[in-house]
Structure 1
Amino acid sequence: MEMLVNPADPPERQVEKLKIIAAVLMRRVEQITDDSGAAYAQFQRAAMLEDQVRERTRDLERALDLLNESNAQLAEANRQTEAARRNLAHAIETIEEGFALFDASDVLVMCNSRFGMHINDVRPYLKPGLGFGDYVRLVSRSPFLELPAGESAEDWAVARQRRHQDRHVMFNVAMVWDRWVQVSEHRTGDGGTVILQTDVTELVRLERIERGKMLDDQARVIRATLDHIGQGVCIFDAGARLVGWNQRLGELLAIPMARFRIGTGFDHVLDRFRPDFRFGAGMTGGRLGDWVAGDAKAALRFELRRDAGMILDVFADGMPDGGFVMSFTDVTSERVAVEALSRANETLEARVMARTLELEDALGDAERANASRTRFVAAASHDLLQPLSAAKLFLASIGDEGLTGAARGALDKAQNALVSVEGILAALLDISKLESGKVAVSVGAVRLDRLLSQLSDEFGAIASAKGLELRVVASGAVVASDAAYLRRILQNLIGNAIRYTDRGRVLVGVRRAGPMLRIEVCDTGPGIPEEEQDNIFKEFHRLNARASASEGLGLGLAIVERACALLGHPLGLASVMGRGTRFMVQVPRYGGGAVEERVAEAAPQGGMEGRIVFLVENDAELRRAMGLLLEKWGVSVLEAQSGEVALELLEELGILPDCFLVDQDLGGGMDGLGFIAAMRGRHGDVPARLVTALRGEPFEARCRAAGIEVMAKPLDARALQGFVAGLRIVT
């Protein structure tokens, strides 16, 4: 240490050297420690590995012991299996029938030496592993197989494969040298197939001999009949012994040939029913046995169902000699069709129900849309009638003085246009009311002579102006109808006939039709094509013409159809192209007793100068138009915009006007009916008219109950003039 540190060095130098020495020594110590630790770890791992190798060796020894034990058990099982296989082979070899077992994949598992009897060329191929299809192909080509007349080997193979699809199969195969083999197939629980082949040559030959002895000419006819019907038939004597059957019976019941022998008891046949068949509802094996044993055998019908899905309809009936006959009919296809039809009906009912619900929803939507449209048309028409009334009255207030010819013509055209618009709005209102289904009709006695006379006067001038003859045949009959709607129906029919007839005449008359009367409107127009006879009753539909206000918008016949439906009056149409059209409306005769005569009382018409008319109207423009027109006629006009103001003005003036013209919808707390009632309560029964665009039976009933007459908007200047001048028609 003294050699490494020089005492003569300064202390700082000595400390520095000591630090270096310490660091070197520490590294050396750490290195020595790491080497010894690694060696110990390797030793420890070696010890653990030795333990694991020892444990694995013991596991392998145990596994080897188990393997040896399993091999011993497997060898014992193989010995047992081989013994069982030998026993099974010996067992199937001892049976008289040919036996073969095919697995679920239709591969041959085993067979005995008698399988494939009488087909010597096929037997060398009958070894495990042979497919069923190959087996059928070999048999079909064998020269030892007696093919049916007209059937090829391929046809026989296809038919054999088809029979193989059934769960239980039984049929006979003809061999050369008049030998017969009965083949039966049965399914195993795992889907395999067991095939049994029985030599029935002796049975067939014996049956031929016995049948030949028993059959005479009549029996041959019966046998031929039985063999050619689609039903399986078997006949039993009074002792319930089998005396006859047909081939179809064996096919339907899959009964072995050995059981079809003359004299076989019914019990043996009944045993065949039990394993593969199920009786239908109401029938059991015991009940069938009791029926067979009974003396009186009434007709019996029941069903049998095979596992393969076949359904047989069985009919049994007694014979005079105490025996009985049973017939079996395959009704599988009919039952399947019935079930399919039932399912189709259920599906159809579900679809109809779903469609019905959809239609109900659609109908509800349509009814709501129709109600909304009806309200809109009514509201829009009401709002349009206000300015229309004002426009008509303004035009009526223009005098002829100072007007040029062109101005007079323009004024007439404007008036005609307003009249057309008025007609259109009235038609729209009628359509909306009729479609809403809320129109109330008042059916009573209607005299046709008065109605037809008015229509003749109304349309006579129009027909003459067009060069047509309008002939209305008078009738004194009385019918049960609504006078207003019946008049509207005939107005539209007559107006339509005149509009579409260019030359000739229009005839209106009444014919008897049993307990009904038929009002006919005939014209000599161009006729209506058959394909258009339904369309003409649609709104806005006109033949060979454009819809216009001057020529009509095609609403008349739509109103006619709906009004006739509302009143329950059948509507008919007959037309010949180039010769004319006849519309027919059937109405019932009135049977309510005597009809009260109603006469028109006309007050003398005088001048209107000096008359005082009180206008109560909240629409300023309409009030101003009516005022101008009345003042043109020399009438003094008082005005008020509400009922309250009008009552106050009457109290202030102290005079009573000659009449009142009152709007129903005054826009305040008092409507027109309320004002007239209040005014008459104070001043007595002063003449008054309610001026309104409102329509409908409820409102008209209120007016009738109050004894107030209505002047409908748009106002007609002539009707207004007649009222003010004192004309009053009492109907």
Structure 2
Amino acid sequence: MIDALVDPADPIERQRDKLLQIARVLMARVERITDDGGAAYAQFQRAAMLEDQVRERTADLERTLDLLNLSNDRLAEANRATEAARQNLANAIETVQEGFALFDADEVLVLCNSRFGLHLLDIKDHLKPGLTFDGYIELVSRSRYLALPEAETPEDWAIRRRRRHQDRHVIFNVRMIWDRWLQVSEHRTADGGTVILQTDVTDIIRLERLERGKMLDDQARVIRATLDHINQGVCIFDAEGRLVGWNQRLGALLAIPLARFRLGASFESLMERFQSEIAFDGITPEGLEAWVRAHNGRAPLNFELRRGADMILDVFAQEMPDRGFVMSFTDATAERAAIAALSRANETLEARVMARTLELEDALAHAERANASRSRFVAAASHDLLQPLSAAKLFIASIGDEAVAPQSREALAKAQNALDSVEGILGALLDISKLESGRAAVSVGPVRLDRLMTQLRDEFAPLAAAKGLRLELLPSSAVVLSDPTYLRRILQNLIGNAIRYTTTGRVLVGARPKRGMVRLEVWDTGPGIPEADQENIFKEFHRLHAPASASEGMGLGLAIVERACGLLGHPLGLNSVVGRGTCFMLQVPRAEGGALPAAHGQAATDLRQQTMVAAQDKIAFLVENDEDLRRAMGLLLEKWGMSVLDVATGEEALALIEEIGILPDFFLVDHQLGPGMTGVEFIRRMRAAHGPVPACIVTANRRPEVAALCAASDIRLIQKPIDARVLEEFLADL
């Protein structure tokens, strides 16, 4: 009711006057109305309360008006600050040299500067606040100032652009018409908005392009100079098989003017042009064209070209990273000629070596027969002479002292000593003949040195004492591996020589352990042996510092020692100082030292004996087109105890095996048998028909392709000229 009487929009003074007027009217009315119940007083009381409420409401209204005025002042100040900040931001982004645009988190354009979209004049007027990001992309994709990549539509460009927009930070270049370029970078703001910067990088890209062009030109000049400098012909083709580069050497090797080479010419057209002038070896023209047409994973290719009757070119082709390929041509004429000449010389040398080998084998056989005859003669003569000598000694011993005059007893004693000396010489000759003929039987086993030393001391102590010498044999508990008879004979000869040639002093015999071996040493204090004579003393009938008397020996002791040590495999050594004495030493393996070393004679013939055992009763099949070499190999194999079948070609070999119906134990096959088939082909056919028969290729061809072919077919390869030891190893493996 009061609100209807008092208008809040009136000034405060007006509202107060109205309230006072209302109060006076109410008071007058109260005074006029009187009743017995005190209603007038109650009316007055209510009016007073109403006045108090009006007063409080008026105060609240005044405070509210004050707060409203303050808020309006602050809002006006904030609006002025916001407008100033907006103007400052607009001025700031306007001074930026790049195009600038800000999209909010809802992908709506908030503001941009005048440089944003400057290069897209046909959409610049549409770039205003409120434009969505998709709308912006759609406008750019259809701008006539945008240079789309080849075969790309505006829709494809827009899809690719939106995909890039998914990244948080994006930088890429956009090509415009008239060869202009913009670099566009996008960055996310903290509230999810997007800031786009557009930078004109036309000058930078053109400068880089110019520098790259200069660098490529420099590289092209360097490559051209390099290609023209090398001694190989080179041609380069791109991924489409078009000629993109070559050097001058190529024309010289192919005898083709460089004017006939045309940039961009296809490989097929060049093949058609040059095929009539060259011949292929190792590949067919169709195979080469198929290699060129293959675009993925082309393996390097190596083959030969022949131009005319004389020139041979080694060609190597390889794929490049860009799927193009490069071919190099090397003049191999001189190399092939040298190989052919070397092969001919090798074959001639093989024939000469084989002829000389046969001659030497014949001479060796004659020498062996003569040596065997001499050894048999010596053995027979020694055996026959020992019997009458023994009888003569018995006759002399049967003569009693009483039947002989005193003056004759000395003559009988000297005759007895002479017969003993002759018997010793004949025994030594018999030992020499056995050792030289290889008929000496050895029985290697454990030998106790303490027992051997005791026997030798008992044997030589009286002889040393008779000459006034001191004989010392140092005790040893070692057990060695040797033949006890020959080891004792070796030490007997060494100790006997030491006593014979020593006039004063002593003879010392000892055993020195040394790394699984025992070194037996015989020392003396004799005159010593000059270095010039140290090799000669081991020769038969050679004596030093002693008269040539049978009673003093004939110089066979050291010869027997050397041959016996060689037979047993005991290394023999000598150390001597003239005027001070001599030491002979030999090394013998300890019994606990492991396997027995092979005797010298056995070690020298182990491989040959294995070969003989393996070759016994074997059938060998030779396939060799060289008649002299075939005959020489046949003689060698027959000498080793084999039966030999030999033919000149693979066809003859197949026919012979079919005819006789017998499969040989192994094949020795030349690789180059003629135009019919190669050695490897022959062996493959034999294995296909008869299973994995042992076979070996014998060839003078040292090209790696032949070795790889044999390895792939699991065929043994022996190079010419043939080494008999290699052939022995092959036969021993059988």
TM bracket, shorter-chain basis: 0.3 to 0.5
| TM-score, scaled relative to structure 1 | 0.48
| TM-score, scaled relative to structure 2 | 0.47
Bigger Rg, structure 1 or 2: 2
